[in-house]
Amino acid sequence: MKKIMLFALSALLFALSALLLTSCAYERIDAGHEGIKVNLYGDGKGVDDVVLVTGAMWYNPIKVAVFEYPTFVQTVDYPAFEINSKDGSRFTVDPSALIKMQDGKAPIVFKKYRKGMDEIINKTLYVYIKDAARIEFNKYNADEIVSNREAVDKAFEARVREYFLAENFILDQLSPGIQYPKSYEDAINQKNKAVQDQMRVENEVAVANAEAEKKIAIAKGNADALKIQADAEAYYNRVVAASLSNNLVQMKALEKWDGKTPIVAGGGTFVDASKFIK
């Protein structure tokens, strides 16, 4: 009888221990996260009015579920999608964003979506981004979007930020990644090529003008040099001519003299010309 009672007591203690272990769970809320406690049964089923900050907690996993929502900034690279402008031109939007949930809003977000953070960010918020793009791009035709790219980007980002705040999320930054239709890409490439060709031609003309001016300068310099040389020679000749004196003339005459004393008649008198020779 004692053995039976001892066995029954042991079985009861084992059952109580197993029940205790299965009805108690431990959860640690990591830094940069908010924990929320959800009642799974009863009239109060839903999210408790308590936000679990970083730390540890024990709970009954049969009645309660604990979820963690990150509160740090996340970088999200969304899939590209196409959108129409006002005139029907199709643009491609390839957005990426920096997003975080507002602090203390984990219970509200969970109550509305009942999803994990990854699914909310990558699916739910993606819908808001596409809707914002549709509204903003439908305001402009393709030419206006191309010529006012910065204004369109800012309006798009402002609308996404407004949508996110209504859903308790903060948009730190949005890169729309707008890609033009192929027809516009071709037109832009042709325009760029035309500009480059014009610059090349202008450079070639500038080089040709510089070469022509160089040749003109050289030719002018040569002409000036020739003129200077000619002027110098003329000046030399004038100086030499002016330096010829009577003595030089007499020397030239002596070179032609035959050795006889010349007699020059003047005023009816014969004069010995040799006395004039020095």
Residue 275, pLDDT score: 52
Residue 231, pLDDT score: 72
Whether 62 and 90 map to the same domain: the answer is: no
Q: Which of 70, 104, 132 is the last residue of a domain?
A: 70
Whether 87 and 171 map to the same domain: the answer is: yes
Whether 82 and 178 map to the same domain: the answer is: yes
Q: Which residues contact 27 (CB under 8 A, 6 or more apart)?
A: 35, 56, 57, 58, 59, 66
Total domains in the chain come to 2
Residue 136, pLDDT score: 94
Whether 129 and 50 map to the same domain: the answer is: no
Q: Is 129 helix (H, G, I), strand (E, B) or coil?
A: helix
Q: Which of 42, 70, 98 is the last residue of a domain?
A: 70
The single-letter code of the amino acid at 237 is N
Residue 19, pLDDT score: 46
Spatial distance between the Cα atoms of 53 and 31, rounded to a whole number of angstroms: 8
Whether 91 and 29 map to the same domain: the answer is: no
Whether 46 and 105 map to the same domain: the answer is: no
pLDDT digits (tens, 9 = 90+) for 172-215: 999 999 988 777 666 666 767 777 778 777 887 888 787 877 77
Which residues of the chain have a pLDDT value below 50?
16, 18-22, 270, 277-278
Residue 265, pLDDT score: 52
Q: What pTM value is reported for the model?
A: 0.57
**CA neighbor of 125 nearest in space, from 179, 153, 166, 88:** 166
Whether 164 and 112 map to the same domain: the answer is: yes
Spatial distance between the Cα atoms of 115 and 38, rounded to a whole number of angstroms: 13
Residue 26, pLDDT score: 64
Q: Which residues contact 109 (CB under 8 A, 6 or more apart)?
A: 69, 101, 120, 167, 168
Residue 192 within a domain: no
Domain that holds residue 129: 74-185
Whether 123 and 150 map to the same domain: the answer is: yes
Whether 37 and 113 map to the same domain: the answer is: no
Rg (CA), the chain: 54
Read off the tokens for 113: 């979506």
Whether 93 and 179 map to the same domain: the answer is: yes
Whether 56 and 129 map to the same domain: the answer is: no
Could you tell me if 61 and 23 are in contact, meaning their C-beta atoms sit under 8 angstroms apart? yes
**Other CB atoms within 10 Å distance of the CB of residue 187:** 13
Helices (H), the chain: 2-22, 106-113, 117-119, 125-137, 142-147, 149-166, 182-243, 246-255
- We report the CATH number of the domain holding residue 143 as 3.30.479.30
Residue 40, pLDDT score: 72
Read off the tokens for 235: 């000046």
